Amino acid sequence: MSTTGPKTENIAPDKLVRVTFEPEGKTVEFEYGTLPYEHHGKPMSFLDVAENFDIFLDHACGGACACTTCHLWIKDQTGISEAEDDEIDRLDMAADQQLNSRLGCQAVITKPGNYVVEIPKWNRNYTSEGKPLTLAEGK
């Protein structure tokens, strides 16, 4: 497991947020409330966290709850915002939906703690193969 991000030894344990992205086991740590908003998804969403730490989590619609490419499985949803109706509707279109499925751009960390999320296999394959092909124009 690797940990990236700013030094965390000066962060009080009750303010520490630790997020592990599986299956890579990449863990990031930061002080709750100090993460700059990267304008991808809701502030403090898992997509926002991933963008802050250069962890690739696809987000074809830019975090607007209009696709399902940021689909994640969240191990324990304690401390995570409740899904709103538009997220629930969108998740119905996601491949491989599970009880712990959330959209990475909509699921927000609401308090310090440890969080573990998994990027579904199909999404990892997608990311390892790069961006989707686009049809050649005018041919």
Q: Which residues bind ligand FES (CB under 6 A)?
A: 41, 59-61, 63, 65-67, 69-70, 90, 103-105
Angle of CA points 28, 34, 35, to nearest 5°: 50
Closer to ligand FES by CB, 29 or 119: give it: 119
Q: What is the nearest approach in angstroms of ligand FES to the Cβ of residue 102? A: 10
Closer to ligand FES by CB, 41 or 120: give it: 41
Q: What is the nearest approach in angstroms of ligand FES to the Cβ of residue 94? A: 9
Closer to ligand FES by CB, 34 or 54: give it: 54
Contacts of 107 (CB under 8 A, 6+ apart): 45, 46, 72, 74, 77, 80, 81, 83, 87
Q: What is the nearest approach in angstroms of ligand FES to the Cβ of residue 69? A: 6
Angle of CA points 11, 26, 56, to nearest 5°: 110
Closer to ligand FES by CB, 20 or 68: give it: 68
Q: What is the nearest approach in angstroms of ligand FES to the Cβ of residue 125? A: 18
Closer to ligand FES by CB, 61 or 83: give it: 61
Contacts of 139 (CB under 8 A, 6+ apart): none
DSSP string, 17-64: EEEEEETTTEEEEEETT-PPP-SSSSTTBHHHHHHHTT-----TTSSS
Q: What is the nearest approach in angstroms of ligand FES to the Cβ of residue 121? A: 18
